Amino acid sequence: MTDPITARGTVLITGTSSGIGLATAVATAAAGWTTVATLRDPAHATALRTAAEEAGVTVGRWTSPTMPPSPAASARWSTPTTGWTPW
């Protein structure tokens, strides 16, 4: 896995549970970008995980222990001491 800090760059893509957002997340990861994929309900990340696995790429999310979890949260933001984790 590429170190997300030293990779080509980082992109944040919203709406990645289906459609154009999902395709864009997988394509940017395949192009060498660190891809942070967000979606309204993390429970709907199955299609994103499957597409990324089939493409042989990793898309991720930022997590932060300082923000309380919320079922409706689109993303979990990070400080540099937390980090990027795969979906």
Q: Going by C-beta distance under 8 Å and a sequence separation of 6 or more, which residues neighbour residue 41?
A: 17, 71, 72
Residue 84 has a pLDDT of 63
What pTM did the predictor assign? 0.67
Taking only the tens of pLDDT, the chain with its 87 residues reads: 556 555 578 888 988 999 999 999 999 999 988 888 888 887 888 999 999 999 999 898 865 554 445 544 444 444 344 566 676
Return all residues near 86 (Cβ < 8 A) that are at least 6 apart. 1, 58, 59, 60, 61
| Cα 65 from Cα 78, distance rounded (Å) | 8
**Residue 46: alpha-carbon gap to chain centroid:** 12
What pLDDT is recorded for position 63?
57
Structure tokens at 40: 């309204």
pLDDT score recorded for residue 25: 93
Q: Are 26 and 52 in contact (CB under 8 A)?
A: yes
